[in-house]
Amino acid sequence: MDCSNILFCADKTKTDYKQLQALFKLSAFWAVERTREEWEIAIANSDPVINVWDGERLIGFARATSDCIFRATIWDVVVHPEYRGVGLGRKLVESVLSHPRLNRVERVYLMTTHKQSFYQRIGFQENSSTTMVLYNNVNQPIPVLQQQHQQEKANTVAV
């Protein structure tokens, strides 16, 4: 495979959402139902966002969120099936990790279902101590936030 035209781009404004959705529908079972609007929100709130291009074709993607010093999480790492096995996934993750917003972060997390060995080769370790999750029903606010909102409303005085 000729990789001479492959470009890693950290400018999230260059994201092609149509190609992004197609890439995830093809390559990522966990994200096949995501809408363009959801992707736009996720990307707007992520930094860095790395797009991998072969000419005009989007062939890879990853994003991260972070406080830039203590914690970061890498999300949605994907490489087109035709481009796997040549080191692009590793280079993609390393591009995220070396980004100025992440390169000094104390701990970088990620979740993966079937690719633990891939991430271990990059240096990630399994961590059973951080396995808690809250599944938020989007139709019903998180109870703590709902109570907080009700308290704020009670503390508001009408003029």
Q: Would you place residue 131 in the very low, low, confident or very high pLDDT band (cuts 50, 70, 90)?
A: low
Q: What is the DSSP string of 89-137?
A: HHHHHHHHHHSTTTTT-SEEEE--SS-HHHHHHHT----TT--------
Supply the pTM of this predicted model: 0.81
Choice between 32 and 77, residue whose per-residue pLDDT is larger: 77
User: So what's the pLDDT on residue 51?
Assistant: 97
pLDDT at 132 over 60: yes
Please determine, for residue 35, whether its predicted confidence score (pLDDT) is greater than 70: yes
Tokens linked to 150: 């009700």
User: Do residues 25 and 80 lie in contact, with contact meaning Cβ atoms separated by under 8 Å?
Assistant: no
**Shortest CA distance to 96 belongs to which of 31, 6, 8?**
8
CA nearest to 92, candidates 108, 71, 78: 78
Between 64 and 31, the higher pLDDT residue:
64
User: Of 1 and 76, which is predicted with more confidence?
Assistant: 76
Q: Does the pLDDT at position 139 exceed 80?
A: no
Coil, strand, or helix at residue 72?
strand
Task: List pLDDT tens digits, range 42-73.
Answer: 999 999 999 999 999 999 999 999 999 999 99
Average the pLDDT over 102-115 and give the result.
89
pLDDT: is 31 or 148 the higher one? 31
Q: What is the mean pLDDT of residues 76-98?
A: 95
Q: What value does the mean pLDDT take over residues 29-44?
A: 91
Answer whether 61's CB lies under 8 Å from 76's CB. yes
Could you give the count of Cα atoms lying within 13 Å of 13 in the half-sphere of its Cβ? 0
78 near 62, Cβ under 8 Å? yes
| CB-CB neighbours of 83 under 10 Å | 19
Q: Report which of residues 146 and 21 the model is more confident about.
A: 21
Q: What pLDDT score does 32 carry? A: 82
Please give the pLDDT value at position 144: 61
Q: In what order do the strands lie in the sheet with 57-66?
A: 6-9, 49-54, 57-66, 71-79, 107-110
Closest CA to 93 of 117, 110, 69: 110
